[in-house]
């Protein structure tokens, strides 16, 4: 039977020393501390794990609560939006009904305005047509005057151009004749100079050959005499001494070389004398030729200077005339431009005044703008013998009011064709030509209505 552990440990404790007991106590204390630390670490890990689980459960519950609240809020917002949409739908229906009524009223006002505009447009077109006809007649007159002035200027320019062309051709012919005469004179002078040069060259050549022959004969005689002298001296030398033979031979060789050099230099001298005489002759002939040419060129220069002065004076005179004409033309153009601007300002003022007067017209004047004062006062019927034409005009006006622009287009086409064909006659509302003394009838009708209205306003009532 083995011994019990308690007894053995007790027996060991009884038998251990103080050091062993201190070491044992330290080991037990360290083991106890290590066990406590491990228990604390295990407890901390369990707390951390429980904390993480609690956080996960809290996050999941918060998501569920948020989803539930979001669903509840969506339902409430949906109900609120449905109520708002119902209110907006009712308000939109009321607004649409009100807008429809307003559009219908505006449509009726627009129809009335279009009727008034059609009436005003017809009256305005009649006034504009009359003004256009007057302007076309004035433009035609100015165009004819411009064509007349242009034709006169062209004729004057053509005459001046023909004069200048004939003058230029005449001067060109004179210059050509002068050049031909100068070329003939230069050719004759050249042939004479060549003949003189050939004669001088032959004379110099003959004189040089004679001098050369004389010089050659004299040199040959001198050479023979020298040879005889040299031969005598040589014989004397040979007789007297043999030591000077070598020197003599050397001197003979030098003499021959000197003779050759003298001959070469004489030939060169003769050539230089021939060249010198030739150059002197050439210089004299060239000097005479250039003097003659210089005189001819000086005369030609004087002629050209006089011709240039005449042409310059003619050109300056022509430029002065053209500048004067250009100034007159510019001044006339500026005056015409100012006149046209004045006419344009008057026309614009007339149109503006017409628009202002249009606002003050009565309904009868808007419908019948060009009736006479008797017709306006009821003293004369509105429809007389020209009833068919007026009915036709009224039918065309009615067709214009109804939106059919075919009659207006035909009338404008007829007026454009008359203008393109050069017709300066005015046209009435039916498109028929109006005589010249009836151009301002409608204007006088409108103008005379003002004094009649003033008289009627200031006249005391009976």
Q: Please say whether the beta carbons of 297 and 291 come within 8 A.
A: no
Rg (CA), the chain: 70
Q: What is the pLDDT of residue 395?
A: 42
Stretch 31-51: mean pLDDT: 89
Q: Report phi then psi at 381, rounded to 5.
A: -65, 150
Q: What is the pLDDT of residue 419?
A: 46
Q: What is the pLDDT of residue 427?
A: 67
Distance CA 24, CA 17 (A): 10
Q: What is the pLDDT of residue 340?
A: 92
Stretch 444-459: mean pLDDT: 77
Stretch 415-440: mean pLDDT: 63
Residue 423, exposed/middle/buried by CB under 10 A (0-12, 13-18, 19+)? middle
pLDDT category at 14 given cuts 50, 70, 90 is low
Stretch 62-90: mean pLDDT: 88
Mean pLDDT over the full length of the chain:
78
CA angle 177, 183, 188 (to 5 degrees): 130
Length of the chain: 462
DSSP 99-154: HHHHHHHHHHHHHHHHHHHHHHHHHHHHHHHHHHHHHHHHHHHHHHHHHHHHHHHH
pLDDT category at 15 given cuts 50, 70, 90 is low
Q: What is the pLDDT of residue 17?
A: 80
Contacts of 446 (CB under 8 A, 6+ apart): 369, 370
For 427, the enclosing helix (H) or strand (E) is strand 426-427
Q: Please say whether the beta carbons of 111 and 401 come within 8 A.
A: no
Asked if residue 135 has pLDDT above 50, the reply is yes
Asked if residue 244 has pLDDT above 70, the reply is no
Q: What is the pLDDT of residue 429?
A: 63
Distance CA 55, CA 61 (A): 10
Stretch 160-178: mean pLDDT: 83
Distance CA 13, CA 9 (A): 6
**Which has the minimum average pLDDT: 178-187, 351-360, 381-390, 405-414?**
381-390
Stretch 196-215: mean pLDDT: 80
Q: What is the pLDDT of residue 430?
A: 65
- Name the maximum alpha-carbon separation found in the chain: 188
Q: Is the dihedral of CA 107, 111, 112, 118 positive or negative?
A: positive
Q: Please say whether the beta carbons of 452 and 160 come within 8 A.
A: no
Please report, for residues 155, 308, 322, the alpha-carbon distance to residue 160 in angstroms, rounded to integers and kept in the order given.
9, 19, 12
Residue 433 pairs in a beta bridge with 427
Nearest alpha-carbon partner for 427 in 436, 15, 35, 303: 436
Nearest alpha-carbon partner for 368 in 459, 445, 291: 445
Asked if residue 218 has pLDDT above 70, the reply is yes
Q: Please say whether the beta carbons of 220 and 235 come within 8 A.
A: no
Q: What is the pLDDT of residue 338?
A: 92
Answer whether 0.75 is exceeded by the pTM. Answer: no
List pLDDT tens digits, range 366-398: 777 666 555 555 545 544 444 444 444 444 434
pLDDT-above-70 percentage for the chain: 80
Distance CA 2, CA 331 (A): 155
Distance CA 390, CA 202 (A): 120
Contacts of 204 (CB under 8 A, 6+ apart): 274, 277, 278, 281
**Which has the minimum average pLDDT: 118-127, 320-329, 368-377, 441-450?**
368-377
Nearest alpha-carbon partner for 429 in 456, 458, 460, 400: 400
Asked if residue 320 has pLDDT above 70, the reply is yes
Distance CA 49, CA 53 (A): 6
Residue 434 pairs in a beta bridge with 426
86 C-beta neighbours (distance < 10 Å), count: 10
Distance CA 413, CA 365 (A): 28
């Amino acid at each position: 039977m083995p011994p019990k552990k308690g007894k053995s440990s007790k027996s060991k404790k009884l038998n251990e020393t103080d050091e062993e007991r201190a070491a044992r106590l330290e080991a037990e204390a360290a083991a106890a501390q290590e066990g406590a630390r491990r228990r604390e670490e295990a407890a901390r890990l369990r707390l951390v794990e429980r904390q993480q689980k609690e956080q996960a459960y809290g996050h999941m519950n918060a998501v569920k609560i948020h989803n539930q609240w979001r669903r509840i809020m969506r339902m409430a917002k949906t109900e609120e939006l449905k109520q708002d949409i119902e209110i907006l739908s009712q308000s939109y229906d009321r607004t649409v009904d009100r807008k429809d009524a307003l559009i219908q009223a505006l449509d009726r006002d627009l129809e009335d305005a279009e009727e008034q505009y059609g009436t005003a447009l017809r009256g305005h077109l009649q006034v504009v047509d009359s003004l256009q006809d007057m302007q076309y007649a004035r433009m035609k007159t100015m165009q004819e005057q411009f064509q007349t002035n242009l034709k006169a200027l062209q004729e004057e320019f053509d005459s001046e151009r023909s004069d200048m062309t004939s003058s230029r051709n005449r001067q060109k012919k004179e210059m050509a004749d002068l050049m031909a005469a100068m070329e003939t004179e230069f050719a004759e002078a050249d042939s004479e100079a060549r003949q003189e040069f050939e004669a001088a060259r032959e004379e110099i050549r003959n004189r040089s050959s004679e001098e050369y022959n004389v010089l050659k004969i004299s040199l040959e005689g001198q050479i023979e005499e020298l040879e005889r002298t040299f031969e005598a001296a040589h014989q004397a030398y040979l007789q007297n001494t043999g030591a000077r033979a070598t020197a003599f031979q050397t001197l003979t060789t030098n003499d021959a070389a000197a003779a050759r050099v003298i001959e070469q230099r004489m030939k060169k001298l003769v050539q230089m004398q021939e060249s010198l005489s030739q150059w002197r002759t050439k210089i004299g002939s060239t000097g005479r030729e250039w003097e003659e040419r210089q005189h001819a060129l000086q005369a030609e220069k004087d002629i050209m200077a006089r011709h240039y002065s005449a042409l310059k004076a003619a050109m300056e005179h022509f430029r002065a005339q053209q500048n004067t004409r250009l100034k007159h033309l510019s001044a006339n153009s500026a005056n015409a431009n100012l006149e046209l601007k004045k006419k344009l300002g008057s026309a614009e003022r007339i149109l503006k005044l017409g628009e202002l007067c249009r606002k003050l017209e009565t309904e009868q004047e808007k419908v019948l703008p060009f009736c006479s004062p008797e017709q306006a006062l009821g003293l004369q019927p509105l429809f007389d013998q020209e009833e068919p034409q007026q009915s036709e005009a009224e039918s065309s006006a009615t067709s214009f009011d109804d939106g059919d622009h075919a009659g207006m287009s035909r009338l404008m086409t007829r007026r454009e064709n008359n203008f393109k064909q050069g017709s300066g006659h005015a046209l009435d509302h039916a498109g028929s030509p109006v005589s010249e003394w009836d151009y301002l009838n409608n204007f006088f009708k409108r103008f005379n209505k003002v004094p009649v209205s003033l008289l009627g306003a200031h006249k005391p009532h009976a």
